[in-house]
Every structure is written in C-alpha cells, then in structure tokens.
Amino acid sequence: MDYQLNELQQMLQQSVEKYVERDYDFANRQQLAVTDLGYSEENWRQFAELGWLGVPFTEEQGGFGGGATELMVLFEAFGKALLLEPYLASVVLGGQLLARVGSAEQIERLLPAVIAGESKLALAHSEPQSRYHLSRVACSAAAQGDGFLLTGHKALVLNGQNADHLLVTARTSGDVDDPQGISLFLVPAEAAGVTVRGYRTVDSLQAAEVHLDGVELSADSVLGTVGEAHADIEWVIDQGIAALCAEALGCMESLQQATVEYLQTRKQFGVAIGQFQSLQHAAVDMFIALSQSRSMVYLAANRANADRDERRAALSAAKNFIGRAGRLIGQTAVQLHGGVGMSDELDVSHYFKRLTAINTWLGDDHHHLGQYSDSLLAK
Amino acid sequence: MQLEFSAEEEAFRLEVRDFIAANYPVEIRRRMEAGVAPGKSDFVTWQQILYQQGWIAPRWPVEYGGTGWSPVQCYIFEEEITAASTPRVMPFGLTMLGPVLMTFGSDEQKQQYLPAILDSTTWWCQGYSEPDAGSDLASLKTQAVLEGDHYRVNGSKIWTTYAHYADMMFCLVRTSSEERKQQGISFLLLDMDDPGVEVAPIITNNGLHVVNQVFLKDVRVPRENLVGEEGAGWTIAKYLLGHERTTIAGVAASRQQMRRLKEIATQELDGALPLWQSSRFRDRVAEVEIDLLALEQTNLRVLCDENAGRGPGPEASLLKVRGTEIQQQITELMAEAVGYYGLPYDKTVLTEGWGDQPPVGPDYAASLMPHYFDWRKSSIYGGSNEIQKNIIAKAVLGLG
C-alpha cells in the first residue's frame, strides 16, 4: 500500500502548481470570466504546449499516457486556481469518450486537434427532465436512409457554446429510462438544425442549452456501437467525477488556508479572532473534512478504472462525500470571514460558488447517496 | 499510488483468519455475537490464547515479545480479530503501560512487570481522571508524600475501567506543588490489594458495572514503584497519550458493527418487506458507511506514513473525533433498526444472555439500546472530542 505519487506525477504536479501560482492570478481570472469567451485562448494554447491537453491519452494517440491519477494532479491545482478553461468538457469528458469509443478513423480525424488545442469538444448528454440519471435519454435519433435524424433538447452542456464538435447522446430504441438503446453521435456544432444558447453559470463557467431540430447525420457520425453507449457514458461520467472531486479538493485547500490566515490576523475585542474556541472548532471541522476529502480524492482516482460496480459505488461515495465536505467548508469559510466573506471582490466567494456548482455537476450529494445506497442492496 | 493490500499482506490476513477460526473458543464467540458483555475470564482466556501464539503484543519491539510486524500488518491483525467478534484486548497493560515501562522504566521494573503483562496474569487499570480533573487532567490532586522508602498516597481516581478486576494500577499523582500545574506530577505503580485502596462501583447508563471510583487512603507505595524521575509524570502521560494513535479510529470495529447493522435491518420487517429495502432507512446507513470509508482511507494514509517512518502527528486527533462520531451513529441506527423491541430492558440478559427463556422480541435486540447509551462515552473518554479539536486548532492550524 502506497499513497505517494510517482516521479512523473510529481513532475506534472510541480509544473501545474508553478503555472497556476505564477501565471493564473485571481484578478486576471475575474477579468477573463466576464469576456464573451469566458476564458483565455492564449492559456489554452499554452496548456497544449505544456502537453496537458494530452494527459489522459495514450502515447500512440499522441498523448502523455496518463490516467485518473494524472488528471487528479492537474485538477487539484485547477481548483486552487479557479480555472476557467474548458479542460473538463473538452479533454476529460469529450476527449476521453472519443478516444474510448471512436473508430480509428474518427480518433485520427479529431483527437490530435483536441490535444493540440485546435479543436474543442463538449458532451451533450443531460436533458431538462433527466436530472442526474444517466439512462434517461428522451432525445431521439430516428433512422433516416443510411443515417439518422436527431431531435431533442440537451441541458447544461458544459462548454457547449465554445465547442466545435458535440458528442450527443440520443435514443435509437427503447423507453426513456432504458439503458439499452442509447447511441452516441459526433455532431459538428455548425450542423444544420443545431441551435446553441450559451450562458454563464453561477461559478463563472460556460454552459449551453442545445436544441436539435431534425439534425441530419450520416451513418459514420455514430461513435461506437448503435444502442450501446450507456456503459461508456457511465465510465466517462465517473472520470469526470474523479476530476471534479480533485478540483473541489483544491478549492477546499485554498479556503482552509485563507480562513486560518484570516482567523490569525483579524482582530476583534482586542485579540485575533482565532483565539475564540467556537471559531477554532469551526476551523477544525473544516480541517477534518478537508483531510478526509483528500483520502476520498485518492480513492476516486484509484477506483476510476475498476470493474463497473466497484467503480460506480466508489465514485458515488466520493462525490457524495466531497459534495458534503465542500458545502461545509464553503459555508464555514464564508461565515468565519464575516461580512467580508460575502463580498464579490474576495476569492472566498468564488471558491464557495465553485464548490456549490461542483456538487451539482454530474450528480449532487443526494443523488449519489441514493446511488451508493442502492448499490448496498446488490451486496 | 497503490491503494490495495499486497499479496503478502493478503496472505498474512488469511493466516490470522485461519488461526482465529481454529482457536477462538466457541462459547465466548457465541456470547460475543449475541451482544453479551464479556467478563474477566473471557478477556483473559482470549488474551492468553494470543499470548501462546506470540501475537498478544504485535506493536512491542521483538526483544520484548513483539511480533516485528509492519504497521500495516498490525492493522490487518486488528481488522481480523475484530471482525471475528473477539473480546477487545485490554489496552491498559499492553498498549499503555508496556511502552511506558520500555521507555521510562528501570531494568527491574521491566523484568518485574512486562512478562506478566504479556501473559495476562496481571490486570492493570489506569488511574488518571479524578473527580475534579477530567479534561483539565493536569489539575489532579491525588497526593504522594515520600516518607522514607515509601510514598504515602491520598486522593481519589474516577472512571477507572475494570478497577474491580485489576491487580495493579498505574496512576498520576502529585509529588510536589510547583508554579505550573503540569510540574510536580509523578507516575506511580500501585498494588490494588494494598490497605487503603477501596474500589466503589459506578453503574453507567446501560445499568452495567465497568467503571469505578477508586479511593486511596494512606496507601503505602514502595519508592521503587516510581516510573521515571519524580516530576516526570506529565511527560510520561503525554507520551502514553501520543502512542498508537492509528488504531484510535476503531475502523475495524465500526466495519464489524456495520455488518451487524445490515444483518439486523435485513431481518427486521417493516410491513411485508425487510427494513433494509426501505431507502429512507438505508440511505442513512449509506451515509455513515461513506463516512466510514473516508475515515478508513484517512487512517490508511496515516498508517502508510507510519510504515515509511513518519509518525502520526497531532492530526491523528481527527481519527479519534471522526472514529467515535461514526461509532456512535452506528449504535444509534442499530437501536433504531429494531423499533419497539429496543425498549425491553433486562440487565441479566446483558451479562448472561437469554439462557433457557425465550427472548422478548428478536434475540439480537436486547443489548442495542443499552449499547447506544453506553457508547456516548466514546466522545468523552481518551481526551474528549472537544479537547482533540483544541489540540488540532493549536498544533496543526496554529490558532490560539
């Protein structure tokens, strides 16, 4: 048993931590967040040059040959930086799904451009009534000649407005809750019938509603086997969960550090407020949640490629725990900062908002408690 | 990162499991599994079986009778003996006093006391808390005055677990009044058979007798029973408290209790269906199980640090806090699982089982509510959880 990163992982960690510390300051981030794009193309090009966009792909595919642990290292640093760039959407969700199920020809056509930062992807899966259930797909893909006709509404498509290609799930058979009959399509964002309504989310990231009104697709737009996408969607969502948990950990670490510093320096009643036991114990509760969150982030990365049932249960456990810990740490950090913790100017507000949004993305703590709880029945 | 046990460690686990299966007396196992409180002979019998195997003191240095196992092996061993519902190995001699004597004791003291700790022929109890010294332990008042070759000891110790079984007590006494209350405290070994020692039972909220108040009136303790220097008691006490923090979380015991909880919830009916089918109940169990998973992973991280020679720091206090909170939540869910049948109370059943009479309600129900009451102690003993948080605030976060 060993909880240490290997040498390559440590090098990656040093490189990303140095970058976010030196080149990704909060004031700059806040300016980027309100631009039309919502992040920096220049940063994205730099990520490509640093090789980060290829981290989870095999060397054969032009990648770094990493996996969930390497992504964990990146995302913990991204969390500290409150990173805006669409790494989760384009690389973790879109890129990894393409690399997993795409044909050699499809991968060759698109993945090198993703790794080079020239192409960006988005996964369009959730729908207004699906909440977090991965098998609830109402969007339909009717057979039309040799190809398909896509109709439906995809909700909260992360980075949907900035992607040149969408990976869209639609039903080719079965009822709305049936895991069978879900297919995955590669859809160019400019295809006729695709309408993208982009917006900002509460944490200053970008998402979109995607409407598909009779989008005509050829047969070679299908990624993987027709009707069999559900297991791969589950897998890639679990990769996303592991990454989000690590990002949340980075946010929590920053909040913990900021809060302890504040308690040591803010004076009331003639003393540093960290002298007061009720505030000390609240800060200790943050520390306890943070320490255990780190353990769960390691567990999530470690189980991200385990067999399906073990993987799903572990990732649900991690997402649930991180969701609760993030809420406790976010809320306590705001409370212990007092009035200043409410101000938009302070990064504390933005870590709090990002943690809140992370809980919602890919299933909140309540959803994953239910998933984990149901998994106990099978044991 | 490699978060699984190695093949060698799994083989070791099987060796331990096989040994327990072959050697754990079935009559003790039956009582323990029925939730009956173990008595002195149950503890001693099981400890002597482990002693015969050479496994009674895994963490002791080999030259003193330890096993030479790695911290991870020790952890696996604890998991297995706990999963098999064996009586808890009493910590007073083996995990508390033993290491203290090895570090601070004289050669004579080591020779005199360590062998009888190992073979469980001497039962030790711990004399720390006093009626007016709980969380503020250093304010203890029990006085030891040197008179020639003896100390004359006067005072009282409280919450003394199994003092009524004990042959000897290690205790903290005040040998002088100094400027700081942590100074002037000494560490003494006291014979419970000596004149002037009186043990008065304290019945706790489950109706059982486990803890006591010990009155010490003009007890004469030979000077050679002083451990370390006079006035070194606080240093020794801190050493003792800092020892073996990685088992403090009680993860193995909570895992075992969690298995029991699921069995009970599977047997209990809520209408036509087992309670376990109710997602309202199961979700609450699931949340505690996720918390336990997080604690276990944290415990293993601390353990791996220990394996690599980095001892657990004050952050180990979090293991105590979360460990006891989770234990308490499980006892609560267990009592709740049996519904109305948590309420019938019969003290004899708690110590002897149902015997020949048919149980009132399910046979597993009688001990659950008393156990829930009793386990409130876990967040109070061993340095209350609030004291643990003070330690983290000061030593880890630099507050206060």
Give the closest-approach CA distance of B258 to chain A in angstroms.
12
In the three-class reduction of DSSP (H, G, I as helix; E, B as strand; rest coil), residue B2 is classed as strand
Out of B307, B315, B398, the one facing A291 most closely (by C-beta) is B315
CA distance B15 to B53: 12
Map residue A110 onto helix, strand or coil.
Answer: helix
Fold classified for B245-395: Butyryl-CoA Dehydrogenase, subunit A; domain 3 (1.20.140)
Q: Fold for A122-228, please state it.
A: Butyryl-CoA Dehydrogenase, subunit A; domain 2 (2.40.110)
Task: Indicate the helix (H) or strand (E) that contains B189.
Answer: strand B185-191
Task: Compute the half-sphere exposure of residue B193: CA atoms within 13 Å on the CB side of its CA.
Answer: 3
φ, ψ dihedrals at B388, nearest 5°: -60, -40
Closest approach of chain A CAs to the CA of B253, in angstroms? 19
Q: A277 CB near a chain B CB, below 8 Å?
A: yes
Closest to A172 (Cα-Cα) out of A131, A101, A225 = A225
In this prediction the ipTM stands at 0.96
Interchain contact B398–A (C-beta under 8 A):
yes
Torsion of CA B114, B120, B123, B126, to 10 degrees: 60
Q: Any chain A CB within 8 A of the CB of B389?
A: yes
Kindly report, residue by residue over B152-185, the tens digit of the pLDDT.
999 999 999 999 999 999 999 999 999 999 999 9
Residue recorded with tokens 């156990």: B371
pLDDT single digits (tens) A190-243: 999 999 999 999 999 999 999 999 999 999 999 999 999 999 999 999 999 999
> Within the 279-298 window of chain B, which residues sit less than 8 Å (CB to CB) from chain A?
279, 282-283, 285-287, 289-291, 293-295, 297-298
| pLDDT tens-place string over residues B293-348 | 999 999 999 888 887 877 667 778 999 999 999 999 999 999 999 999 999 999 99
Instruction: Find the DSSP H helices in A50-167.
Output: 68-81, 87, 96-101, 104-115
> Among residues A327, A325, A348, which one has the least CA distance to residue A261?
A348
Give chain B's end-to-end CA distance (angstroms, integer).
36
Spatial distance between the Cα atoms of B275 and B52, rounded to a whole number of angstroms: 43
End-to-end CA distance of chain A: 25
* Tokens 């030593």, located at residue: B395
pLDDT by residue (tens digit) across B374-393? 999 999 998 999 999 999 99
B399 and A293 in contact by Cβ < 8 A?
no
pLDDT band at B245 (very low <50, low <70, confident <90, very high): low
Tokens standing for residue A152: 């439906």
CB B313 within 8 A of CB B384: no
pLDDT at residue number A307: 97
Q: Is the domain B124-231 a CATH 2.40.110.10 member? A: yes
Residue of B389, B390, B394, B396 best to disrupt the A interface, most CBs of A under 10 A: B389
**Residue A266 CA neighbour count, 13 Å, CB half:** 17
The structure tokens listed for A47 are 């990520």
Q: How confident is the model at residue B246 (pLDDT cuts 50, 70, 90)?
A: low
Look at A370 and B4 and tell me if their CB atoms are within 8 Å: no
Map out the domains of chain A as residue ranges: 7-119, 122-228, 231-378
CB contact under 8 A, A1 and B397: no
CATH number listed for the domain at residues A7-119 = 1.10.540.10
Q: Do B393 and A283 touch (CB under 8 A)?
A: yes
The answer to whether the beta carbons of residues A212 and A151 sit under 8 Å apart is yes
**B283 neighbourhood in chain A, CB within 8 Å:** 369-370, 373
Sign of the dihedral defined by the CA atoms of residues A58, A160, A361, A183, in that order: negative
Which of B216-220's residues contact partners 24+ apart within 8 Å by CB, and which partners? B216/B142, B216/B153, B216/B154, B216/B155, B216/B156, B216/B157, B216/B190, B217/B154, B218/B152, B218/B153, B218/B154, B219/B152, B219/B153, B219/B154, B219/B190, B219/B194, B219/B195, B220/B150, B220/B151, B220/B152, B220/B153, B220/B194, B220/B195, B220/B196
**Chain position carrying tokens 């969960």:** A241
- Please indicate whether, in this complex, the C-beta atoms of B283 and A370 are within 8 angstroms of each other: yes
Domain ranges, ordered by start, for chain B: 7-89, 124-231, 245-395
Looking at beta carbons, which residues of chain B come within 8 Å of A372?
286, 289-290
Inter-chain touch B397–A2, beta carbons under 8 Å: no
Residue B312, pLDDT score: 67
Q: How confident is the model at residue B243 (pLDDT cuts 50, 70, 90)?
A: low
Hey, of B1, B275, B390, which one would you mutate to test binding to chain A, going by the most A CBs within 10 A of its CB? B1
Cβ–Cβ of A260/B399 closer than 8 Å?
A: yes
Chain B, nearest residue to A281 by Cα: B389
Could you name the CATH architecture of A231-378? Up-down Bundle (1.20)
- SS3 category, A125: coil
